[in-house]
Amino acid sequence: MVELFPFSEYWWFYLSFVGLVLLLLALDLGVFHRKAHVVGFREAALWSSVYIALALLFNAGIYFKFGTHAALEFLAGYLIEKSLSVDNIFVFVLIFSSLGIPRKYQHRVLFYGLISALAMRAAMILGGAALLRHFHWVLYVFGAFLVLTGIRLFMSWIEKRVDRVENSRSLQFIRRFVPASESLNRDHFFTLENGRRLATPLFTALLLVEVTDLVFALDSIPAIFAITGDPFIVFTSNIFAILGLRSLFFLVSGLVAKFVYLKLGLSAVLVFIGCKMMLADVFEIPIHISLVVISLLLGGSVLASWLTGAVRSEADSDGAVR
C-alpha cells in the first residue's frame, strides 16, 4: 500500500496534528478543568461524545480524500484501540483505589499521563513502521505476539485472575527508587516534608499509569498494524482513541467490572488479527470483512455481558421480593 502521508516528506503534517491535539488538551485542562473537581457521568458523556465526534469527522475527511478503503482502515483501527482501552480502564481503577487517589484529582493524573503517552506512541508507531518497511519478517513476529497475547488474556479470564497493584513489580520498583510520601498535597505531584522534596501518591499513580499505557501500547499498536501498514492511519486512529480515554474512564469506570465477557471478546479479536497478520502473504482478509468480524466479536461480548447482568439483576430482584 502507498503511504498516504510519508513521514519523511510530510513531517510538518504530523507535527501540526500533534500541535492541534496539544491545543485541545491545553483548552481541556486550562479552561474546562482548571479547578480540580469530580467528573460526573453527564460531563464524562459529553466529552466522550465530543472526542468520538471529532474522530468520526476526521474519518469522514479520510473517506472523501482517500476513499472507502482508507476510511475503513481508520475505523477498524480506532475501534480496536477504543475497545482495548476499556480493559485498560480496569487497571486505572485499581491504581487509583489502591493508592487512595480522590476522584477529583484523577483527571489531573490521566491528563499528564496522556501527554507523555502521545510522544511514546508516536515513537513506537514510527519505529514499528520502519521495521515493517525494512524487515518483512517482523510481520510474523507481531502476529505471533498478538496471538499469544490473546491466549494469555483468555487464560486470565478463565482463571479469573485479578492483579493487585500493591504486589506489582512496577510499584515496588517505584517505591524503591523514588522517595515518596504517604500523604497527598492537594493536586500536587510533590511535597516538602522535613526539608525533603518527596513524591506524593499522585506522582506514584502517574508513573503507574505510564507503565500501564506502555504495556497497553505494546498490544494495541501491533494490532492496528495488522489492519493497515500506513503510519498515518495507525498514528491518527491511535491518537484519537486515547484522546477520549480520560472521559471514557469517568464514564465507564463504575461499570467496567460488569463487562464480564469483554476480556473474552478482546482475546478473540487479538487472536483473529494476529492470524490475519501471519496469513497476509498467503491470503489477505478484506478490510470490510475484518471490520465486521471485529465488530461482531466486541459487540457480542458486550451484549452477552449486558444480558448476563440483566438476568442476574432480575434473579436478585425476584429473590428480594420473595
Residue 274 within a domain: yes
pLDDT at 89: 79
Residue 297 within a domain: yes
Residue 24 within a domain: yes
Q: Is 223 exposed, middle or buried (0-12, 13-18, 19+ CB in 10 A)?
A: buried
Residue 320 within a domain: no
For 275-309, the pLDDT digits (tens) are: 888 887 777 788 888 888 888 988 888 888 888 76
Q: How many domains does the chain have?
A: 1
Residue 6 within a domain: no
Residue 105 within a domain: yes
Return the closest-CA partner of residue 155 out of 256, 302, 262, 267.
267
Return the closest-CA partner of residue 26 out of 121, 114, 123, 117.
114
DSSP tag of 28: I
Residue 318 within a domain: no
Torsion of CA 234, 55, 36, 108, to 10 degrees: 0
- 318: pLDDT strictly greater than 80: no
Give residue 98's domain range.
11-310
pLDDT at 322: 37
pLDDT mean across residues, the chain: 80
Contact criterion met (CB below 8 Å) for 106 and 253: no
What are the grid coordinates assigned to 262, written together?
469483554
- Mean per-residue pLDDT for 153-173? 71
Tell me the pTM.
Answer: 0.79
- Mean per-residue pLDDT for 146-169? 74
Residue 1 within a domain: no
For 181-199, the pLDDT digits (tens) are: 888 888 888 888 877 888 8
Q: For the chain, give the percent of residues with pLDDT over 70.
A: 86
- Mean per-residue pLDDT for 66-71? 89
What is the rounded distance in angstroms from the CA atom of residue 276 to the CA atom of residue 302? 23
